[in-house]
Structure 1
Amino acid sequence: MAPAAASLEQITLPFAFEGFGTSLAWWASQLGQAESPVVDHLLQLLFADPSAGGIGLNCTRYNIGGSTDPARNASFRPGANVVPCLSSPDEPQLRILERIVKLREGLPLHVEAFSNSPPQDLTISGSSAGHQSRFTDNIKLEDVPRFAQFLVDSVAALLEKGIPVSTLSPINEPSEPVWIVGNNQEGCYWSGPARKALATSLRTLLDSTGLKSRGVKLALAEENNLLNVARKLDFTSDGDIINVHTYTTDQFTDISVVKLYAWGIQDTRLLRSYVRSTAQKRKQPLAVSEFGLGGPSLSSNICDVGTHGFVLVRHAIHDIVSLNAIRWVYWQAVEDRGSNWGCIQVPFNGAPQSSDILVGAQYHALGMLVRAIPVGTRTFEYWCTTRRVVLINREFMRVVVASDASRTQRHLTWELASPVSGSFRVLRLETVDGKAVVNDLGVRTVEEGRPVEIPKGVVELWDGATTTPAPAA
């Protein structure tokens, strides 16, 4: 059988790529409640430069918080009761953020402040989980300017603490039906008039308070899926940036939610093209501000590279290419034990030790993407199919090759016609004895067009510099 030839396409992004990252909700709020070597280890793994043993994430999202009275939210998951920094200057998530700023000193860092719900004293229900009824605003229209002032004051307070906030995102998944009293996290439905009033108030306040002149931009949309973004694009015209989430139907187990999303039409090539072209016409950057990977379509083992590692690589590249995304941010890189979500898992309760940290395939795969598409990238080549991915960044001479775990007894490998020539240090991410392991294969010399044998169910990083340190285990 002839080796597979990658049908490469070139993408030139309209804005320079700003990096990869993760939200701090809810893990930082929970694990940051006490000084712990586990937290030090997690921050090093995620935000330290690869030369210092991390994967070099440089974007982070800070949850401003709306739980002024956590006692009202007894149903919330661990870490979801986030007290606003204006009410608690020493709140756990903020302590984590300050450590990230210090860890990234001298390195690129993008901080976005976001909100899931107005503070409880501004809500109709008295809960930051939502209204008593679905699809119902949980804030009175006349109170929207007060909420806008709260958000602006929160950003100003963060800036005064030395946190380099550069974007403010005031709402989160505003069209979702799940934001009702009794839910397990903060959330708020926003009708068209309410969200328009909020955007208008924020535009005025960012100018009048001087935050705009300090570089703070307004990010709008934050819809759960591309269909809702497309339906509410008029709202995003008031923002500087369009933020989108790119979840897929097969990640949900609640059949009522799946039906609501009309069996997958919430994310199509046409929708992505429409959102991207609208942003380009307005000269608005577009960012993927949230995506998490887990659910029934993936292996229950987060260390399974053929599903978790491969799907993350394919999805992230698809997002960046199809949306011209300037940032790609994972929802919650650190998850509690007991699910198949997250890049890293650690128990949220008790007193976890460093030995309790489980580093999954998504973590290592994300680290390879950070190196292959570094900050400032404008152009790269790619080839994506349902089972194979190739990405080439010729400026930095780095290549990512990934394949899924589809195996037969006769075909445990496949042959790729090398898309490049040269000598590369090869790091291979694979599952060994149930664990996600990065093996350093040394230097591989390849010739364009000549076959290279690639095992199925692996992700490889070819580094033309040949000096890249292996990722931390």
Structure 2
Amino acid sequence: MTMANNGQPELRDPVTVDVSPYARAQTFEGWGTSLAWWANVLGGWSEERQQEIVDKLYSAEQGLGMTIARYNIGGTKDANDPYLDYGKAILSYQSEDGSWDWSRDANQRAILQKIQTTADSPIFEAFSNCPPWWMTCSYDPSSPDGAAGCTTGGPNGGDNLRDGSEGDFARYLVDVLRHFRDEWNIVFRTLAPFNEPVAGWWKYRITKQEGAQILARQQELVLREAFDALRNAGLHETSLSASDESFVEMARATWEAFSDETKARIPQVNTHTYNDFSYDPTAFRQAVHADGKKLWMSEVGFENGEHPVPDSRSMSGALKLARGVAKDLKTMQAEAWVYWQAVESDVSTWGLIFAPFEHNEKESYRMYKQYYALANYSRFIRPGSAVVDVQGECSLAAVSADADRLVIVTYNESETEPAMHRYRLRDLPDPAFCGKVRVYRTSADENLAKLEPIALQDGTFTAEVPPASVTTYVIEGLPR
């Protein structure tokens, strides 16, 4: 790094970043999180503490302003299953004999109900990690050890939905959705029957969480049965989404393996975006859009890199998150962005919020930097916004639904080098557009800190982006 005579970093000439507020791509539906498994634990906390957490995530005034929640329909038999980690046993509402117990999964449901009354116009998606235990390939009614029908994966890591159970599995999921609608007034917009179904890591008694390999051929059978079951149950407000594969490359392969008949039953394609950042989602996006489907980024998480003690100043996970958001919304053009576990325990740094799941009688929690970095996006790019064109992989831009506000978010991954950017708004109806740019920053020492505004002159402003930071710029009164 070049140093000036006063010992301070010497900034290079600013890099011009062109922003085109009128070159619009997808309309963004919102931010969200999956409820497995944190809601299964925190739903047992005090009512006051539960609401605090929900407000941190779903309140537009006090929190991240999320609007999407993915509810996990469980398949496990025993809350104390020894092959599942603490909190990860999401119980099946139905038993092998066909009877139902709607008192199960009360904790996760309690969080969902609080989200329903907290979020602005919430969108609910139901998803399954594994079929009910008696539909799995590992199920053996004569097993003497009580662990038959393991929901962590199939024998030898193989398939874990028994042939011939596709219809039963689909109807189980739909029956749960119908009960939620009729008895609890909760309507799911979409049903996602699978979770990372071709990943290859769901193994019998090993994986420590629910999971099932279900390859494309069998996925098609489930999807056709689920489509018919939704119609037969009168759930016309619920449609199907698939297939929630782990990586974009897997998602593309599965989607292209589906017949046109199957694709016609699926209005929304979900993918996770784990793996490294070298993937190019362009071909996948083009395939999905060519088929006229909505595209969601339905799960991802970013580790903070400080096991097992979290570092409250570490920006490691926050910068990975920022990079993921920018790529998923700019290059893949995802219409929603959903985090995996918004709350994680002391054995992991993947969450937005740190809260020990066990031995936490005080119900204590605190935020990771990932939380504030996501706030740099979610507090300002609201549902209904249009993602617009901006230069550079480090910047993301969007215009509000009323076309009045332009939001630009830029991250700097360098640990030592600041960056100087000259942001230039293109194709303005009024080239002399002037005003103030509001600025918010997250860094090792700042948590969505509101900074001094910057002058906007003739549609241009210049700003320094410090090392290891995420900065949001907000411009009101965009010319039309």
> TM-score band (shorter)?
0.7 to 0.9
1:129 matched to 2:129? The reply is no
Contact 1:302 1:342 in 2 (8 A): no
1:372 counterpart residue number: 380
Q: Which has the larger radius of gyration?
A: 2
Contact 1:302 1:340 in 2 (8 A): no
**In the TM superposition, what is the alpha-carbon distance from 1:379 to its structure 2 partner?**
3.9
The secondary structure found in structure 2 opposite 1:230 is helix
**In the TM superposition, what is the alpha-carbon distance from 1:291 to its structure 2 partner?**
0.7
User: For structure 1, which runs of at least 5 residues remain unmatched after alignment?
Assistant: 250-263, 467-473
The secondary structure found in structure 2 opposite 1:6 is strand
Greater displacement, 55-64 / 452-461: 452-461
Greater displacement, 40-49 / 375-384: 375-384
The 5 A counterparts of 1:12-411 are: 12-14=24-26, 16-50=27-61, 53-71=62-80, 73-85=81-93, 87-89=101-103, 91-104=106-119, 107-125=120-138, 126-134=149-157, 136-160=158-182, 161-182=184-205, 183-211=207-235, 213=236, 215-233=237-255, 234-235=257-258, 237=263, 238-249=265-276, 268-269=279-280, 272-294=281-303, 301=310, 303-304=312-313, 306-353=315-362, 356-385=364-393, 388-393=394-399, 395-408=403-416, 411=417
Cα distance per residue 1:58-85 (max 9 Å; x no partner): 00100011112234x3131221100134
- Cα distance change of structure 1 residues 396 and 79 upon mapping to structure 2, 3 Å threshold: farther
- Cα distance change of structure 1 residues 418 and 228 upon mapping to structure 2, 3 Å threshold: closer
**In the TM superposition, what is the alpha-carbon distance from 1:311 to its structure 2 partner?**
2.4
Could you tell me how far apart the structure 2 residues matched to 1:379 and 1:226 are? 20
Could you tell me how far apart the structure 2 residues matched to 1:392 and 1:305 are? 27
**In the TM superposition, what is the alpha-carbon distance from 1:36 to its structure 2 partner?**
4.7
Greater displacement, 457-466 / 21-30: 457-466
1:417 counterpart residue number: 422
Contact 2:170 2:222 in 1 (8 A): yes
**In the TM superposition, what is the alpha-carbon distance from 1:422 to its structure 2 partner?**
2.3
Could you tell me how far apart the structure 2 residues matched to 1:451 and 1:299 are? 40
1:257 counterpart residue number: none
- The percentage of counterpart residues that share the same residue type is 26
The secondary structure found in structure 2 opposite 1:76 is coil
1:443 aligned to which of 439, 443, 453: 453
Greater displacement, 371-380 / 62-71: 371-380
The secondary structure found in structure 2 opposite 1:29 is helix
**How high is the TM-score relative to the length of structure 1?**
0.84
1:463 counterpart residue number: 474
Contact 2:412 2:466 in 1 (8 A): no
The secondary structure found in structure 2 opposite 1:56 is coil
Cα distance per residue 1:139-198 (max 9 Å; x no partner): 222111111110100111111211121000001101122211222100000133321211
Could you tell me how far apart the structure 2 residues matched to 1:222 and 1:348 are? 26
Contact 1:372 1:400 in 2 (8 A): no
Contact 1:365 1:459 in 2 (8 A): yes
The secondary structure found in structure 1 opposite 2:341 is coil
Could you tell me how far apart the structure 1 residues matched to 2:307 and 2:441 are? 21
> Match of 2:302, as an amino acid?
L
Contact 2:170 2:225 in 1 (8 A): yes
Aligned-residue RMSD, C-alpha = 2.5
The secondary structure found in structure 1 opposite 2:159 is coil
**In the TM superposition, what is the alpha-carbon distance from 1:138 to its structure 2 partner?**
1.7
Could you tell me how far apart the structure 1 residues matched to 2:336 and 2:461 are? 34
Contact 2:161 2:213 in 1 (8 A): no
Contact 1:306 1:403 in 2 (8 A): no
Could you tell me how far apart the structure 1 residues matched to 2:456 and 2:188 are? 44
Could you tell me how far apart the structure 1 residues matched to 2:389 and 2:74 are? 40
**In the TM superposition, what is the alpha-carbon distance from 1:310 to its structure 2 partner?**
2.7
**In the TM superposition, what is the alpha-carbon distance from 1:282 to its structure 2 partner?**
1.4
Cα distance per residue 1:181-217 (max 9 Å; x no partner): 2221000001333212111111211222211x2x101
> Match of 2:329, as an amino acid?
I
What stretches of structure 1 move > 6 A for 4+ residues in a row? 297-300
**In the TM superposition, what is the alpha-carbon distance from 1:307 to its structure 2 partner?**
3.0
**How high is the TM-score relative to the length of structure 2?**
0.83
Could you tell me how far apart the structure 2 residues matched to 1:288 and 1:298 are? 27
Could you tell me how far apart the structure 2 residues matched to 1:443 and 1:322 are? 30
Contact 2:352 2:367 in 1 (8 A): yes
